[in-house]
Structure 1
Amino acid sequence: MAIDKITLKNMKFFAYHGVYEKERLEGQNFFIDVEMYLDLRKPGVTDNLEDTINYSDVYKLVQKITQGNSFKLIEKLAESISGEILSTFTRIETVKVRVRKPQAPIGGVLDWAEVEVERSAHGA
């Protein structure tokens, strides 16, 4: 089976995640990438949306999870997104989710703190 990839890169959502109460009250921007690995030969031949993953549906799912919850850790956010994607879109073999938090309160200068998780539909 071929493993191809669909990527949604740098989705931006304002949300309320963080260990500190101030983060959960004031909110901040989070940037999320999703890489979905699956066989894309059929949609490559048929040119039918029904044979692939609807990008808009994935975006809306990520938005709902990110903006509809308040997690302390971006690790939990990434885990929640990966699990929902795999359970919702059964054609996906593996998913990678990256969550970036530019305003991580670390007491120093950085571009962002980032977490990446990779999960398989088969649990391996």
Structure 2
Amino acid sequence: MADRITLKGLRARGRHGVLPAERAEGQDFLVDVALELDLSAAARDDDLTKTVDYGVLAGKLVKVITGEPVDLIETLADRLVDVCLDDERVQTATVTVHKPHAPIPHEFADVAVRLRRGRAER
């Protein structure tokens, strides 16, 4: 599918991680989302109800990020993909969770997990 909606750099504070300090203090997570769906009706009719409202989606994603803690960002990414696929128009969702302040004792630029799931994989 050629049509895509992307949301990049969504930032929210969560308490995800395996270390006690990560749970206690929390840290910022950055999320990128790409949704593949048919946008022709929305474009043709100039109608928000015929597409994914990315403002509403962002709110739902932030609720997951700031919600129940998990140990792994793989689990967090999986939960976020599920939120994206809740809209039946979305055929494929790609979610990347960045953990820029991961507790790594070396200098690094980013740690990220990327999941791509299609409707058939649910």
TM category (shorter chain) comes to: over 0.9
Deviation at 1:3, TM superposition (A): 3.3
Write out per-residue CA displacement over residues 96-115 of structure 1, whole angstroms, 9 at most, x where no aligned residue. 00000011112101112100
Q: Who is 1:119 aligned against?
A: 117
Q: Who is 1:74 aligned against?
A: 73
Q: Distance in 1 between matches of 2:47 and 2:76?
A: 32
Contact 1:37 1:94 in 2 (8 A): yes
Say whether residues 1:95 and 2:90 are aligned partners. Answer: no
Stretches of structure 1 that go unaligned for 5 or more consecutive residues are: none
| Residues 44-63 of structure 1 aligned to structure 2 (within 5 Å) | 44-63=43-62
TM-score by length of 1: 0.94
Identity within the alignment, %: 34
Aligned length: 122
Q: Distance in 2 between matches of 1:90 and 1:33?
A: 20
Q: Distance in 2 between matches of 1:121 and 1:42?
A: 20
TM-score by length of 2: 0.96
Letter in 2 for 1:77: L
Deviation at 1:122, TM superposition (A): 1.2
Contact 1:58 1:85 in 2 (8 A): yes
Q: Who is 2:25 aligned against?
A: 26
Letter in 1 for 2:59: K
Runs of at least 4 residues off by over 4 Å? none
Deviation at 1:84, TM superposition (A): 2.1
Q: Who is 2:11 aligned against?
A: 12
